[in-house]
Structure 1
Amino acid sequence: MSGAASSPTPLRAAALARVPALRAAHPGAFRRLGPGQRLALALLLGGTLLLGLGIWRLEIAPARLLAGLGDLAHFVTLMLPPDPGSWAQFRGILAALAETLAIAFLGTLLAAVIALPLGLLAARNATLHALVRFAARRLLDGIRGIDALIWALIWVSVVGLGPFAGVLAIMTSDIGTFGKLFSEAIEAADRRPQEGVVAAGGSGVARLRYGVLPQVLPVMAGQVLYLFESNTRSSTIIGIVGAGGIGLTLAEMIRTLEWQSVSCIVLLILLMVAAIDQLSSRLRRRLAGG
Structure 2
Amino acid sequence: MSLALSQADQAALVARHRAAIDGSLRTKLTTSAVIAAMVALFLYGLSTFEVSLWRILSGLGNLGTFVVLMLPPDPGSLARAVIFVKALFETIAIAFLGTILAAVLAFPLGFIAARNVVANRIVHFFARRSLDTVRGVDALIWALIWINVVGLGPFAGMLAIMTSDIGAFGKLYSEAIEAADRKPVEGVTSLGGGKLHEIRFGLIPQVLPVIASQVLYYIESNTRSSTIIGIVGAGGIGLYLAETIRTLEWQQVSFLILLILAAVTAIDFLSARLRFAIIGQRAI
Q: TM-score, normalised by structure 1?
A: 0.83
| Residue aligning to 1:111 | 102
Q: Quick check: which has more Rg, 1 or 2?
A: 1
Would you say the 8 A contact 1:189–1:215 is kept in 2? Answer: yes
Aligned pair in 2 of structure 1 residues 71, 166: CA closer, same or farther (>3 Å)?
A: same
Q: Does 1:265 align with 2:262?
A: no
Looking at structure 1, the residues matched to 62 and 181 of structure 2 have their Cα atoms a distance apart, in angstroms, of: 57
Matches within 5 A, 1:98-177: 98-127=89-118, 129-177=120-168
Q: 2:56 aligns with which of 42, 61, 65?
A: 65
> Residue 71 of structure 1: CA displacement?
1.5
Matches within 5 A, 1:177-188: 177-188=168-179
| Residue aligning to 1:229 | 220
Looking at structure 1, the residues matched to 100 and 276 of structure 2 have their Cα atoms a distance apart, in angstroms, of: 20
Aligned pair in 2 of structure 1 residues 44, 133: CA closer, same or farther (>3 Å)?
A: closer
Looking at structure 2, the residues matched to 191 and 52 of structure 1 have their Cα atoms a distance apart, in angstroms, of: 45
Looking at structure 2, the residues matched to 171 and 118 of structure 1 have their Cα atoms a distance apart, in angstroms, of: 14
Looking at structure 2, the residues matched to 163 and 90 of structure 1 have their Cα atoms a distance apart, in angstroms, of: 19
Aligned pair in 2 of structure 1 residues 97, 52: CA closer, same or farther (>3 Å)?
A: same
| Residue aligning to 1:276 | 267
Looking at structure 1, the residues matched to 32 and 126 of structure 2 have their Cα atoms a distance apart, in angstroms, of: 39
How many residues were matched structurally? Answer: 258
> Residue 63 of structure 1: CA displacement?
2.4
Moved over 4 A (4+): 35-49
| Residue aligning to 1:4 | none
Q: Does 1:240 align with 2:231?
A: yes
Structure 1 window deviating more from structure 2 (48-57 vs 145-154): it is 48-57
- Secondary structure of 2:231's counterpart equals helix
Looking at structure 1, the residues matched to 37 and 43 of structure 2 have their Cα atoms a distance apart, in angstroms, of: 10
Looking at structure 2, the residues matched to 156 and 176 of structure 1 have their Cα atoms a distance apart, in angstroms, of: 20
- Secondary structure of 1:99's counterpart equals helix
Looking at structure 2, the residues matched to 283 and 71 of structure 1 have their Cα atoms a distance apart, in angstroms, of: 42
Q: Does 1:195 align with 2:186?
A: yes
Structure 1: tracts of 5 or more residues without a match: 1-34
> Residue 38 of structure 1: CA displacement?
9.7
Matches within 5 A, 1:245-260: 245-260=236-251
Structure 1 window deviating more from structure 2 (112-121 vs 55-64): it is 55-64
State the identity %. Answer: 62
* 2:256 partner letter: I
Cα displacement string for residues 231-257 of structure 1 (whole angstroms, at most 9, x for unaligned residues): 111111111111111111100111111
Looking at structure 1, the residues matched to 91 and 70 of structure 2 have their Cα atoms a distance apart, in angstroms, of: 23
| Residue aligning to 2:70 | 79
Looking at structure 2, the residues matched to 124 and 76 of structure 1 have their Cα atoms a distance apart, in angstroms, of: 52
Aligned pair in 2 of structure 1 residues 153, 195: CA closer, same or farther (>3 Å)?
A: same
Would you say the 8 A contact 1:121–1:128 is kept in 2? Answer: no
Structure 2: tracts of 5 or more residues without a match: 1-24
Q: Does 1:289 align with 2:280?
A: yes
* 1:151 partner letter: W
Q: TM-score, normalised by structure 2?
A: 0.84
Would you say the 8 A contact 1:155–1:165 is kept in 2? Answer: yes
Structure 1 window deviating more from structure 2 (194-203 vs 221-230): it is 194-203
